[in-house]
């Protein structure tokens, strides 16, 4: 079974600095999709960024980018120029591309932004 591991329960970063959140996953499949979701204090989960495993190019969305290392099964999220509004729980997630399967989430990393 696939698993997603986020080894950092909490992280802090100074405003305007850069922070990287780690995520590793375990799968025997070669085709899959990876996601990062954000859950602010409002509790509303929103998609931050997604990556297709067959694409070598790392996805980027404004200040958010990923470092996708397929062989290492690693999918880290980099947040540049951190802002106070980035404070949230961040969840890494996996979904198979071969089966109509559920999305599997990691346990999350709580990110604090220090003013």
List residues binding another protein (CB under 8 A).
6, 32-33, 35, 37, 42-47, 50, 52, 91, 95-97, 100-108, 110
Based on CB atoms, which residue is closest to another protein, 18 or 30? 30
Instruction: Provide, rounded to whole angstroms, the least separation between the CB of residue 37 and another protein.
Output: 8
Beta strand 109-114 with 46-52 is unpaired
Token pair in block for residue 58:
């790392």
Q: Decide whether 16 or 103 has the Cβ nearer to another protein.
A: 103
Is the dihedral angle over the CA atoms 70, 24, 43, 113 positive or is it negative? negative
Nearer to another protein, 70 or 110 (CB): 110
Shortest distance (Å) from residue 87 CB to another protein: 14
* Min CB(42)–another protein separation in Å: 8
Structural contact between residues 61 and 49, judged by C-beta atoms closer than 8 angstroms: yes
Q: Which is nearer to another protein, 16 or 49 (CB)?
A: 49
């Amino acid at each position: 079974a696939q698993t997603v591991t986020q080894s950092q329960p909490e992280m802090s970063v100074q405003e305007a600095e850069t922070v990287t959140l780690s995520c590793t996953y375990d799968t025997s499949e070669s085709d899959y999709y990876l996601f990062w979701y954000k859950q602010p204090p409002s509790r509303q989960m929103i998609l931050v960024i997604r990556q297709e495993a067959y694409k070598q190019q790392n996805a980027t969305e404004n200040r958010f980018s990923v470092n996708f290392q397929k062989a290492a099964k690693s999918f880290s999220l980099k947040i540049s120029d951190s802002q106070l509004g980035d404070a949230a729980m961040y969840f890494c997630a996996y979904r198979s591309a071969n089966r109509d399967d559920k999305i599997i989430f990691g346990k999350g990393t709580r990110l604090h932004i220090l003013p």
